[in-house]
Amino acid sequence: MTIITRRTALAGLSATATLPIIGAPAFGQTKTKTTVGALRFTSHAASFVAKERGYFDEAGLDVDFAFFQAAQPMAVAVASGDADFAVTAISGGLVSLAQKGATKVIAGALREEPGIDGQKILASDAAFQAGVKAPKDLSGKSWAITQAGSSFHYMGSKIAMAEGIEMEFRPLQKVGAIIGAMKSGQVDGWSIVPHIAKPLAGGGAVHIIGNVSDYLPDYQVTTVFTSKETAEQDEAKSRAFLSAFAKGAADFNAALVDKTAGDDAAEDMVKLVHKYVYTDRPYEKAKPSIVNGAMRISTDLNKASVKDQLNWFSSEGLVDGDTSMGVVVDERYL
């Protein structure tokens, strides 16, 4: 007898988060019904491509998207079984869920790569005017993070370590709040994906003072994860998802990252992504943001980077207990 279901408990956990908007389910196919959690970001494009180009159908999956406003509740939704697969950064929360036997990372997704435009290090205009021209100048300054143990925290911490400086980490919960705080000079430094960084810097409110890839080459930014049950007991489904996802990623990389597929393919890709991302903006305005946001998506997992991130959680005291690779990642899939 289960007195309280996981679902209700987790629903309570994510009570402050926005509820997912789950698309209407389809009926009557023999295909496996699958719910994929996604954020409306370009970094989630591999799933969108796989869906639009029928790669999921080919793999025997009938995919519905559940859209979320933030990565945190999405991880909870996977743990509770409300979504089957999702893509998110390796956060303290994800590690903690893995330790509790709820989730497993099964592949990589977004990653930094030398030569490809990646995440930017930003300084607020106020800090920039006060002399913060390079990451090392952030010594004694404040660094914006969403929450303790988030990827922003990790990046800031690694940059500070590399430069041998101390920074004050300011948890601001949401990217929107961070942007507001950066613009008004309430915080000094931050790192963010290029399609957000560039327009901000273009407006003069913030200044790009470095690249994350200079400090974290091959940084594994996001990973594909699923519930432990699915990873262990439904290997076929997981592999089917990954193969379709990889095809989508390959199309995306060819069109917008490596740009080997030609201008028409790039145009088609932007149009496809625009169905899901920046839907409230006209195509012409959405296009530069989508193009700017293109970073390599690859199911190959950079184990060294993941290991470094796990060690960091442990050494910062953010997560207690076992943070070894095997706890978080289901290595059979790599």
Point out which residues bind other proteins (CB under 8 A). Answer: 1-6, 9-10, 13, 16, 72, 76, 79, 91-93, 96-97, 100-102, 146-150, 168-173, 176-177, 180-181, 184, 186-187, 318-320
Residue 92 beta carbon to other proteins: minimum distance, rounded to whole angstroms: 4
Neighbours of 32 (CB within 10 A): 17
Residue 301 beta carbon to other proteins: minimum distance, rounded to whole angstroms: 22
Residue 93 beta carbon to other proteins: minimum distance, rounded to whole angstroms: 5
Nearer to other proteins, 300 or 316 (CB): 316
Comparing CA positions, the residue from 115, 69, 103, 295 lying closest to residue 192 is 295
CA distance 59 to 244: 6
CA distance 249 to 235: 20
Q: Using an 8 Å Cβ cutoff, are 245 and 65 in contact?
A: no
Nearer to other proteins, 15 or 24 (CB): 15
Looking at the DSSP bridge assignments, the partners of residue 87 are 224
Comparing CA positions, the residue from 14, 12, 13 lying closest to residue 70 is 14
Nearer to other proteins, 13 or 261 (CB): 13
Comparing CA positions, the residue from 51, 76, 74 lying closest to residue 61 is 51
Q: Using an 8 Å Cβ cutoff, are 330 and 232 in contact?
A: yes
Residue 115 beta carbon to other proteins: minimum distance, rounded to whole angstroms: 33
Residue 241 beta carbon to other proteins: minimum distance, rounded to whole angstroms: 23
Residue 310 beta carbon to other proteins: minimum distance, rounded to whole angstroms: 14
Nearer to other proteins, 17 or 116 (CB): 17
Residue 122 beta carbon to other proteins: minimum distance, rounded to whole angstroms: 16
SS3 track for 296-328: CECCCCCHHHHHHHHHHHHHCCCCCCCCCHHHH
* Both structure tokens of 219: 């940084």
CA distance 277 to 270: 10
Nearer to other proteins, 151 or 253 (CB): 151
CA distance 262 to 256: 9
Nearer to other proteins, 101 or 114 (CB): 101
Residue 102 beta carbon to other proteins: minimum distance, rounded to whole angstroms: 5
Nearer to other proteins, 124 or 292 (CB): 124
Nearer to other proteins, 17 or 254 (CB): 17
Residue 66 beta carbon to other proteins: minimum distance, rounded to whole angstroms: 19
Residue 285 Cα distances to 31, 85, 199, 266, 275, angstroms: 37, 30, 12, 16, 13
Helices of type H across the chain: 6-13, 45-52, 55-58, 71-80, 92-99, 125-129, 151-163, 175-183, 194-202, 228-233, 235-252, 263-274, 283-292, 303-315, 325-328
